[in-house]
Structure 1
Amino acid sequence: MIDLIKKTLLTGVGLAVMTKDKVEELGRDLADQAKLGESEGREFVDNLMKQSENARGEFETRVNALVKKAVDGLNLAPKDELTKLQARVAELEAELKRHDESATHAG
């Protein structure tokens, strides 16, 4: 019974990073240890799968928020700004080249 409690507690922590197969395997193991009937066991595994999906979604949301916070803290230029700057540099280079060519031909 202690193993069942330990696994249940660890399940809440690890559900987000477990594969679907591992969650199903854990659910079957826990259902067997708890001596659940077939329909109860299936319901338990299904519930565990739903909890896993929810935990994965919450985990992903938290990771995305942390990554965004870290990137924002680096004060990096967003990709669209970088693209605009690259286009502006190319435009200025072309303008400078035209200016140099006209100065060369005029002199």
Structure 2
Amino acid sequence: MAQQRNPFQEGLYAGLGLALRAKERIEEFGKRISDEYDMSEEEGKKFMDDLLKQSEETRTRLDEAIEKRLETYMEQAGIPKKQDIDALSKKLDDLEKKLNQK
């Protein structure tokens, strides 16, 4: 039996792949710039660290903006949140237990 594809999981893996690739490209860029400008090893390392820190901060802000946007879209579309589904599932379990006790 073929395994069902999970679009959220696929999106997560794609995002991780992009993040890793972006980090590699930033490192390549930083190395190229530090070589071109004859930076010392210490200067090059600091430059790279600053670049990676800035890219991480930007990625974090972007992730937060995307998450907020997705929450808004899901709310507008009437798609319940996981905690709402979990709460309903618990209520159903409780009702089922009560019915089985009678």
Residue 12 of structure 2: aligned partner = none
Q: Which amino acid aligns with 1:50?
A: K
Indicate the residue corresponding to 1:65 in structure 2.
68
Instruction: Mark the runs of 5 or more structure 2 residues left unpaired by the alignment.
Output: 1-17
Larger Rg: 1
When the two chains are superposed, the root-mean-square deviation of aligned CA atoms in Å is: 3.0
Match of 1:79 in 2: 82
Residue of structure 1 in register with 2:37 after alignment = 34
Kindly state the Cα deviation for residue 50 of structure 1 after the two structures are TM-superposed.
1.1
Q: CA 1:42–1:77 in 2, change beyond 3 Å: closer, same or farther?
A: closer
Q: Which shifted more, 70-79 or 54-63? A: 70-79
Task: Output the TM-score relative to the length of structure 2.
Answer: 0.57
1:50 aligns with 2:88: no
Count of residue correspondences = 83
1:12 is matched with none
Q: Structure 1 residues 30 and 85, CA, compared in 2 at 3 Å: closer, same or farther?
A: same
TM-score normalised by the chain length of structure 1:
0.55
Q: 1:46 to 1:84 in 2, by over 3 A?
A: closer
Whether the aligned pair in 1 keeps the contact of 2:30 and 2:47 (CA below 8 Å) is yes
Contact preservation (8 Å) 2:74, 2:80: no
Runs of 5+ unmatched residues, structure 1? 1-15, 99-107
Q: CA deviation at 1:84?
A: 4.4
How many Å separate the matches in 1 of 2:91 and 2:45?
61
